[in-house]
Copies of this chain bind each other. A is one copy, B any other.
Amino acid sequence: MSQENLFTPVQIGRRGEDIALQIEAAILEERILPGARLPSERELQIQFQTGRGVIREAIRALKQKGLVDIRKGAMGGTYVKQMDVANVSESLALFLKQQHIEPDHIAEFRESIDRVITILAIARAGAAAKEELVAETEKLMEMVNQEEPDQESIAGQDRILNIRLAQMSNNPVFAWVMEALQQGFSSHDYALYDETAYRLKTAENWQKTAQHIARNDPMQALSSIAAHYALLRSCVAGQKPQSEENNRLA
C-alpha cells in the first residue's frame, strides 16, 4: 500500500500514546480506510524507531477504542475496522455500573427518549415499516403465548422491537443511544418477562403501541409507552433484591 512516510518518529512524552494518536488521526482523516492493513509490529517498530513493546501498547490502545481489529498468523496483523456502537455501549455500561445508577433514572431517561422516537416514527416512517413493526409485535405475542416460553428468544425479540422502532425515527442517533442503553441495561428489562403476568401485559402493550403507531395516533401511542414504563417500574420495585454483590469487604 506504499505508505512509506505516513508516520514519523516521535520524541516527546509517552511514545506509545503518541503513536496511537498518530495512527488514530490517520484513520479518522481517512488516510487509512476501513479494511486496510497496517504494517506489522516489526515494520512499525522500524518506522517509528522504537521498541516493539511500545508499538504493541499503541496498537492495543487502538483495539480497545474499537478502531482496529487484530489477527494472528500469516497475513495477520492490524486491520482498520468500521467502529460500531458496541464500544460506546460498553463504555457507557461500565460507567453506569461504577456510578451505582438507579434503575429509575435510567427508566426515566429511556421513557423520554422513547416518547420522542415514537413521535418521530409516526411522522417519518413509511406505512410499510409501521406494518412491519406490528408484525414483529405479533411474533412477540406468539412467543409469550407458547407452552414453554423461551426467555432468550423473547428478550431478543424485545430488543429487536426497540431497535426497529428507534430506526423508524430516521435519525441514527436515537437508534444508537437506544442500542447502547439496551445493551448496558438489558437485565432490568428482561425481568419483565420473568413472571407470566408481566410477560403477557408487556407483550400486549407492545402490540398496542405498534398498532397506534401504524394508525398514526400519537396520543394513544404515548399512552401505551407510559403504560409500559409504569409496568417496568412496578416490576422492578416489586422484586427488589437481585443483590448478589452488595457485600463488600470493609
Chain A residues in the interface with B (C-beta under 8 A): 16, 27-31, 33, 53, 56-57, 60-61, 64-67, 82-83, 85, 87-88, 91-92, 94-95, 97-99, 101, 105-106, 108-109, 112-113, 116, 171-174, 176-177, 245, 248-249
Contact = CB atoms under 8 A, between A and B. Distances in A.
Given A53-B56, A108-B173, A112-B113, 12 more contacts: A28-B97, A57-B57, A57-B60, A60-B61, A64-B65, A66-B91, A67-B98, A83-B94, A88-B92, A105-B173, A109-B173, A112-B112
8 contacts: A31-B248, A60-B61, A82-B98, A83-B95, A99-B172, A108-B173, A109-B171, A109-B173
Given A248-B30, A249-B31, A91 B65 contact: yes
Give me the 8 closest cross-chain CB pairs, A-B, nearest first: A91-B91, A112-B116, A64-B64, A109-B173, A30-B248, A29-B245, A83-B98, A105-B171
Among the interface residues A97, A101, A173, A249, which one has the most CB atoms of the partner chain B within 10 A?
A173
A10 to B, nearest CB: 17
Nearest to A119: B112
Contact of A177 (B57, B94, B99, B109): B109
Q: Which of A28, A67, A106, A176 has the most CB of B within 10 A?
A: A176
B173 A106 contact: yes
B174 A109 contact: yes
A105 B174 CA distance: 9
Given A53-B53, A105-B171, A173-B106, A95 B99 contact: no
A39 to B, nearest CB: 17
Contacts of A53: 53, 56
Given A64-B65, A83-B94, A116-B112, A172 B56 contact: no
A145 to B, nearest CB: 34
A67 B98 CA distance: 9
Contacts of A105: 171-173
A51 to B, nearest CB: 10
A120 to B, nearest CB: 8
Contacts of A94: 28, 65-67, 83
Contacts of A83: 94-95, 98-99
